[in-house]
Amino acid sequence: MTPDHELAWRVEEACLNAWPSPRQLLVEGYLLRAAGGPSKRQNSVNPLRGSGPPEPAVAAARAIYGRLGLRAIFRIPEIAPQMEPLLAGSDYDVVDETCTLFRDLDGLPAVPDPSVAVAPAPGADWLALRDAVNRADAAAAQVFRDTVAALVQPRAFATAAAEGGLAAIAFGVLDRELLVIESVVTLEALRGRGHAKRAVTALLRWARQEGARSACLQVVATNTPARALYGGLGFKTELYRYHYRVGPA
């Protein structure tokens, strides 16, 4: 395994850990997730490092999702694409090509931003902003709360304030010396003003103080504004991409 491939797998595992599914099981060497809610990452089959032939896992996953009343979703990263030939040319659509980005934590601002609060748990206002921007119904909101409760590693929740209240939020999970950035959200009326950048920068500083040496995140490839934001935050190295194969409803 090359150093770049090893780093990609290190990041892949950290990203899975940072967005856990409260309901999952191992199926023929693959990780099947079925949290409910809208997140494909939490409701898909994922190859693990060293996963073997995919045929038994794909067949078993289809049956399991069917029993649960869920459509089958398979997440296919470039570093482990073995499920793709089984699903290509079928009625499984390709959706949400996603970039995995990486940076080291050198060169961060020395002085903290006093307008950004960093806490070990999300407050009611943090959760309310995320629910509102994501238009989360009660079930989806509960899935996110269950996800936060399932986190094992150190985590921090950043809230960037603006005149009149909250402007942007984000959270990060520290997986040994690697920070994973998740759930970067800005109030729609305040987008494009640097609020999300302030929230993420605060998380990078927190992680560096906790001993992290690098950070990563995943962003949909077609989300041009988000990619510009993360590029400006130093996430200039793309390690690998993934996409989903989504079965019929």
pLDDT in tens, 110-144: 788 899 999 999 999 999 999 999 999 999 999 99
Q: Count CA atoms closer than 13 A to 170's CA, side-chain side.
A: 25
Nearby residues of 100 by Cβ (< 8 Å), 6 or more positions away: 8, 11, 12, 15, 77, 216, 217, 218, 238, 239, 240, 241, 242
Residue 49's domain spans which residues?
Answer: 3-9+20-97+242-246
In this prediction, residues 53-67 reach a mean pLDDT of 96
Q: Please indicate, yes or no, whether residues 110 and 139 belong to a single structural domain of this protein.
A: yes
Q: 10 Å Cβ neighbour count for 123? A: 14
Cα–Cα distance, 200 to 230 (Å, whole number)? 9
More confident residue, 164 or 1: 164
In this prediction, residues 218-244 reach a mean pLDDT of 96
Q: Please indicate, yes or no, whether residues 44 and 29 belong to a single structural domain of this protein.
A: yes
Examine residue 14 and state whether it is found in any structural domain, yes or no. Answer: no
Examine residue 15 and state whether it is found in any structural domain, yes or no. Answer: no
Q: Please indicate, yes or no, whether residues 109 and 230 belong to a single structural domain of this protein.
A: yes
Q: Please indicate, yes or no, whether residues 207 and 134 belong to a single structural domain of this protein.
A: yes
Q: Please indicate, yes or no, whether residues 210 and 120 belong to a single structural domain of this protein.
A: yes
What's the total number of domains in the chain? Answer: 2
- The residue behind tokens 């206002």 is 125
Contact 150, 17 (CB under 8 A): no
- Which element (helix H / strand E) includes 27? strand 24-27
Examine residue 39 and state whether it is found in any structural domain, yes or no. Answer: yes
pLDDT at position 249 is 73
Q: Please indicate, yes or no, whether residues 60 and 122 belong to a single structural domain of this protein.
A: no
Whether the pLDDT of residue 1 is over 60: the answer is no
pLDDT at position 123 is 95
182: domain CATH number is 3.40.630.30
Q: Which pLDDT tens digit goes with each residue over 136-195?
A: 999 999 999 999 999 999 999 999 998 778 999 999 999 999 999 999 999 888 888 899
